Amino acid sequence: MAEGNSPLESAALNPLDQVRQALLGTTADAPRPVTRLGLPLGIDRLLGPHWQRSLRPAAVLVPIIDRADGPRVLLTQRSHSLRDHAGQISCPGGRVESSDTSIAHAALREAEEEISLDPGASEILGYLHDYPTISRFCVTPVVARVDAGVSYEPDGVEVDSVFEIPLEHALDLGAYVRKSIGRMGIDLPFMELMWQDWRIWGATAGMLHDLASLVAGDA
């Protein structure tokens, strides 16, 4: 929560303005804050900054479409033919390329490639904490307000389908469930968020939970 705003003042804002307020002053510049993954024995913290620097940089766009009936978060379902994370729910994004001029440029470029989202329709609001993934990427989530009249469609290669969830639901910390999955003898924790028949879990749910925590002032 930004300085100078009481919880009552923030609660009076609509959800999109709450996000805007919470992300004021955030930057993609180093050093970047990193999501606390909550791994057993605090392994992620014990590994230290050298582990984080060994990860490949990636960026995702968290597009919030400013609909007349309420802001909605745009999410994608990855193609079932992909080798990694097939069929999972994600934010549009991918690896940062040498040709990208910034983290935001990478996120907008990937969104245009995957779902034909016009970069000119997006207003960058700020950045969430970096999110290390099990596939050895360090993902920087870029949050953007997107014009209501924007069009999009899945490319059919990396993305099978696109859908929207109410921003208000994504900001409801009570809607998230912490679960775990066994990997290499370790129970790895993850967040899960349900919307209708869509199961949002893993890194994507973790990033949305970070957003909800920032807005709530709990991060």
Task: Please state whether the predicted TM-score (pTM) of the whole model is above 0.75.
Answer: yes
Query: What does 99-146 look like in DSSP terms, one character per residue?
Result: T-SSHHHHHHHHHHHHH---GGGEEEEEE--BEE-TTSEEEEEEEEEE
Q: pLDDT, tens digit, for every residue of 132-175?
A: 887 788 899 999 999 999 999 998 788 999 999 999 999 999 99
Residue 186 has a pLDDT of 66
Helix (H) or strand (E) holding 20: helix 15-22
Average pLDDT over residues 66-89: 81
Does the pLDDT at position 5 exceed 70? no
Most trustworthy range by pLDDT among 40-49, 70-79, 84-93:
70-79
Rounded Cα gap, residues 52 and 34, in angstroms = 9
DSSP per-residue codes, 135-198:
TSEEEEEEEEEE-TT------SSSEEEEEEEEHHHHT-GGGEEEEEEEETTEEEEEEEEEETTE
What tokens appear for 160 in the block?
Answer: 């099978």
Length of the chain as a residue count: 219
Given a cut of 90, whether residue 215 has pLDDT beyond it is yes
Quote the CA–CA distance of 66 and 168 in Å, as a whole number.
12
- The 10s digit of each residue's pLDDT in 13-32 is 899 999 999 999 999 998 88
- Say whether pLDDT at 79 is over 80: no
* Residue 9 pLDDT exceeds 60: no
pLDDT of residue 41: 47
Rounded average pLDDT over 172-182:
89
Choice among 58-72, 150-164, 177-191, 200-214 with the minimum mean pLDDT: 177-191
pLDDT in tens, 101-123: 999 999 999 999 999 999 999 99
Question: How high is the pLDDT of residue 189?
Answer: 81
